[in-house]
Amino acid sequence: MSAGKEAARAAILARVRASLGRGPGEAARPDELARRLAGGRPNLIPARSRVGAEERLALFVRMAEEVAASTVRCASPDEVPGAVGAFLAGHNLPSELVMAPEVEGYPWHAAPTLTLRKGRASKDDLTGLTGAFAGIAETGTLMMVAGPKSPTTLNFLPDNHVVLLPTGRIFGAYEEAWAELRRQSPRRPPTTVNFITGPSRTADIEQTMQLGAHGPRRLHIILVGPDAPPGEAPPGEEG
C-alpha cells in the first residue's frame, strides 16, 4: 500500500475511534467481539420454515412458483434427462444446453436428443443447466455456490436456467444452508455465492414488472428425489 493510502486508512480509523471516544486497539470486550465475528448463531428464524421435510418441500415449491419460477418433480435421477427435454420442448427451445460440470453425473445418455456442452456460459447460450448447493424453503430461494464445477456465468447469461435440486438439499432458512456451507468450506467462503429467488426481473419502466431484465427470463427447478445423487449429503437435522 502506498504512503498516501496508508495515511488515509490510518486517518479514517483514527477518526472513527475519536468519534467513538476510544484509543486504538481499545475495543471493548474483545472476546465478545471475536465470538460475534465468528458467526454461526442465528438471530431469529421465522416460524414459517420450522416444519417437517415434506412441508418444507411444499413450502419451497409454493414460494418459488409465487416468484414465477417453474418446478417439476422427478422421483429419481433417471427421470431427469426426460424432464429437461420436456422443459425445452414445452417452450420450443433448441435442445442445446451448456452444463455445469457438477451435474455431468446424471444419466444423460438416456436422452440422446440433448446436446450438452460442459463449461461456462457464453452470451449466445440459450439454456444453462446447473445443480444447486441448496434450496431454501422460506422464500423458494436457490443457493448457488461457485467452484471449478459450478461456474457463475451459467446462473446469469443464458435466457433459460434449468436447475437440478435434490429434495434432500432443501433447508428451511438461509442460516441453515449457510451453516452447511461453513461445514464444507471452513477455511474461507467460496468466491461467489448467489441466492436466486425466481427469474430476473425489473420494474424500472413505470413500475410495471417484466421478467428477464438481464438474467434468465425462465427459471425451471427440477426437484430430484427422494434419492439424493451421489456425493451430495442430505442436510443435517435442524433444531
Partner 1 sequence: MERTSHAFKESAVRALQDATLQMALGNMRVGFVGKRQKARERLPEFERLCDLARDIKDHTLKHLDFYLEAFEARVKAQDGEVHWCRTPAEARQVILEICQRVEARTVTKGKSMIAEEIALNEFLEANGIEPVETDLGEYIIQLAHEPPSHIIAPAIHKTREQVSDLFFEHHRQYGKTRRLDETRALVDEARQVLRPKYVAADVGITGANFLVAETGSVVIVTNEGNSDLTRTLPKVHIVTASIEKLVPNVEDVWTILRLLARSATGQELSTYTTFASGPRQEGELDGPGEFHVVLLDNGRSDVLGTEFQDILRCIRCAACINHCPVYRAVGGHAYGWVYSGPMGAVLTPMLIGIEEAGHLPNASTFCGRCEAVCPMRIPLPRMMRHWREREFEGGHSPPTFRRGIKLWAWLARHPRLYGPVMALAIGLMARLAGRRRRFRVLPLAGGWTGSRDFPAPEGQRFMAMWRARRAARGGP
CA-CA-CA-CA torsion sign (118, 121, 123, 128): positive
By CB neighbour count within 10 A (0-12 exposed, 13-18 middle, 19+ buried), where does 65 fall?
Answer: middle
- The answer to whether 136 and 174 are in contact (CB under 8 A) is yes
CB of 178 to partner 1, least distance (A): 5
- The answer to whether 180 and 134 are in contact (CB under 8 A) is yes
Identify the residue among 208, 231, 237, 239 touching partner 1 (CB under 8 A).
208
- Count of residues engaged in binding partner 1, rule: CB under 8 A: 77
CB of 86 to partner 1, least distance (A): 25
Beta strands in 29-123 (DSSP E): 70-74, 96-99, 115-118
CA distance 157 to 166: 23
Nearer to partner 1, 151 or 225 (CB): 151
CB of 12 to partner 1, least distance (A): 5
Nearer to partner 1, 71 or 152 (CB): 152
Nearer to partner 1, 33 or 233 (CB): 33
Closest Cα to residue 231, out of 126, 140, 147? 147
Q: Between residue 2 and residue 61, which ones bind partner 1 under the rule CB under 8 A?
A: 5, 8-9, 11-13, 15-17, 19-22, 24, 27-28, 33, 36-44, 46-48
Q: Between residue 140 and residue 179, which ones bind partner 1 under the rule CB under 8 A?
A: 141, 146-148, 151-153, 155-157, 173-175, 178
Q: Between residue 79 and residue 118, which ones bind partner 1 under the rule CB under 8 A?
A: none
Cis peptide before 94 (omega within 30 of 0): no
CB of 37 to partner 1, least distance (A): 6
